[in-house]
Structure 1
Amino acid sequence: MSSPYVRRRRLSDELARLLEEHGYSADQLASATGLSKQRISRISRCQVRPSLDEILRILDHFDADHERRRTITDVARDAQERGWWERQAAQMGLRQALYADLEWGAATICEYQLTFVPGLLQTELFSRARIAADKAIYRVAFDAERAVAARQTRQRLLQQPGGPVYEVVMDELAIRRLAAPVRVVAAQLDHLVDLGHHHDRVRIRVLPTDAQIDGHAVPRSAFSIYRYPDPGDPVVVAVDTATSDLVLTRFDDVEPYLALYARLHAAALSPADSLDFLAALAGDLPHEEHHTEGANYAHQI
């Protein structure tokens, strides 16, 4: 199954193409198919899961050929799916649920992180520390234990056979910043080194603060790039902001992030040098008693 969210975006694009090809407005399509104007609008805006019957009514009206009908109905079926994250979205955090959706079925994930270690690579204790630090921003229904468990589920799916290739460029500041108790950070750095050495599909690169980035490009926020096996699916960029995540699929919006990531990737240390860098930094930090500190954070949340 591909990401239901991405397939809904794809379905919205397919509908827009049909309207443009036939010179129809959304209102005209609503009148022709018997669907409400509001329903057509919400399908176009990727706000609902359209039923297969609704999609077939649209395809029938436009007399879509066999190949196009098959492609669009396949996309529509995927768009209707509900992933494991939806049953616990409020408890695990709506933003984390969105990322779980985007990760589902991805072929490659490329991430730039400038604040702290990305969720897909966090240890349980580091995750608990971050959740404790940020708990004021979560909604009432949020459950810290569910959030930690969901993050671990995402990590297992990443590392299982057939999972995506995951590459992250981490700013040196994100690594040096004590975003958790120092011993938890030390254990987290050890974990990154272990992942980099033992998981072929996980590639970690460090972007030094003195790196020479082409064009003196300065990233303004963390972002992730998702590519999917179906060439018809869009390349997706998710931009991490302070209060929400901006999901981009239009080429004109996505292309600047692809170019920026290429520059950051080129300026970063090689995977081997990055692991040496992380190991050296970890060696400078105390490692004892990190289990106790993690337990204290678990108690707080």
Structure 2
Amino acid sequence: MPTKRQMPTVRLRRLAAELRRLRKGAELTREHVSEQTGINAATLYRIETARVRPQQRTLIALLNLYEVGDPQRGEIVALSRGAGSQRWLRPYHSELPEEYTAYISFEAEARAVRNYESLFIPGLLQTEGYARAVIKGVLPMASTREIEQRVQARIERQEVLAKPDPLNLWAIMDEAALRRVVGGPEVMHEQMQRLMASATEPHMTIQVIPFGAGAHAGMPGSFVLMSFPEVEDPEIIYIDSMAGDLFLEAEADVRRYGAIFDNLRAVALSPDDTSNLIATLTKEIQ
């Protein structure tokens, strides 16, 4: 039976980046490290790309080779011990897709999230009724149990917006997300009220790109750009598509999606005008 692939965590990515930095600082290639430590070059690649957490003896061998002393050595060892922990996850999340649980873990530790949605209300702003209707529609073959697990996970994710130091959320959506009546008028009316209330929160910014804006940079699809409290933790992009979930963290990708989001902010209605539009559409649903 194949070993289940370890999904990345913020700490695992930080550990991988630190080990890459140390190796390059020692002016060693992966092949040189392999020759001097006996660590397989493929294994080293997986460690340095946050595919796996290094075993203790492997980590110590690398730190010895890179001549890392205390206190840095102790900090790296401690980081490694916690690198496999996705602290936010509930026990039942083991039944959710691996990429989704990784996303939940990243989101729980993020400082800020920039989210563009072309067809849906952003997950962090969805009501339970809307979430259930969306999940049923998107996953028509899912069992009732699977649907309820996903609904529960989506609602629990929203705790990041209510904690003492809440996540900063900047959500932009196409007007189509507001116009599509998901779950019926009652569900949609409740959802629109949630949006209006969320728009008044100081740590949330909500904008809508009106139909009148014409073609825009977000039309190819939705994406999430997450940033983290520590400077050492690079931003990460998450894309959810029918072809599968995708994480991007290359600097070029982060710059490109950051520029796209800035462009979308510019063509969208202002937060105040967005609130007025949501209020108007809410009255129409009644």
TM-score norm. by structure 1 comes to: 0.82
Q: Are 1:82 and 2:77 an aligned pair?
A: no
CA displacement at 1:4 relative to structure 2 = 5.9
Secondary structure of the 1:284 match is helix
| Candidates 200, 205, 211, aligned match of 2:207 | 205
Instruction: Give unmatched runs, 5+ long, in structure 2.
Output: 1-6
Equivalence for 2:110: 106
Deviation at residue 272 of structure 1 after TM alignment: 2.1
Q: Which residue of 1 aligns with 2:225?
A: 225
Q: Which structure is higher in helix share?
A: 1
| Aligned position for 1:150 | 153
2:66 partner letter: F
In structure 2, the CA distance between the partners of 1:53 and 1:88, relative to structure 1 (3 Å rule), is farther
Q: What does the per-residue CA deviation read over 1:213-247, in whole Å, with 9 as the maximum and x for residues that have no partner?
A: 8xx63541111111111111101111222232221
Q: Which has the higher contact order (CA 8 A, sep 6+)?
A: 1
Match of residue 57 from structure 1: 61
CA deviations 1:38-70 (Å, max 9, x no partner) are 432321232212245532321121112546545
**What is the count of residue pairs matched by the alignment?**
280
Q: 1:63 to 1:142 in 2, by over 3 A?
A: farther
Counterpart amino acid of residue 34 in structure 2: A
- 1:71-94 C-alpha deviation (Å, 9 max, x unpaired): 544543442323242733343444
CA deviation string 1:276-297 (max 9, x = no partner): 21111011013xxxxxxxxxxx
User: Do the aligned partners of 1:51 and 1:80 also contact (CA within 8 Å) in 2?
Assistant: no
* Contact persistence 2:218–2:264 (CA under 8 A): no
**Does the aligned pair in 1 maintain the 2:86–2:105 contact within 8 Å?**
no
Deviations 1:107-145 (A, max 9, x none): 11111111111111111111111121122466x897222
Question: Separation in 2 of the partners of 1:81 and 1:141?
Answer: 29
What is the distance in 1 between the residues matched to 2:65 and 2:144? 44
- Counterpart position of 1:125: 129
Question: Residue 125 of structure 2 contacts residue 195 of structure 2 at CA under 8 Å; is this kept in 1?
Answer: yes
Q: Do 1:43 and 1:49's aligned partners in 2 also have CA atoms closer than 8 Å?
A: yes
- CA pair 127-155 structure 1, distance change in 2 beyond 3 A: same
Sort the Cα spacing of 1:47 and 1:78 in 2 relative to 1 into closer, same or farther, 3 A. same
Structure 1 Cα separation of the partners of residues 160 and 145 of structure 2: 22
The equivalent of 2:179 in structure 1 is 176
Give the root-mean-square deviation of aligned CA atoms. Answer: 2.7
The aligned amino acid for 2:238 is A
Q: Under a length normalisation based on structure 2, what TM-score does the superposition of the two structures give?
A: 0.86
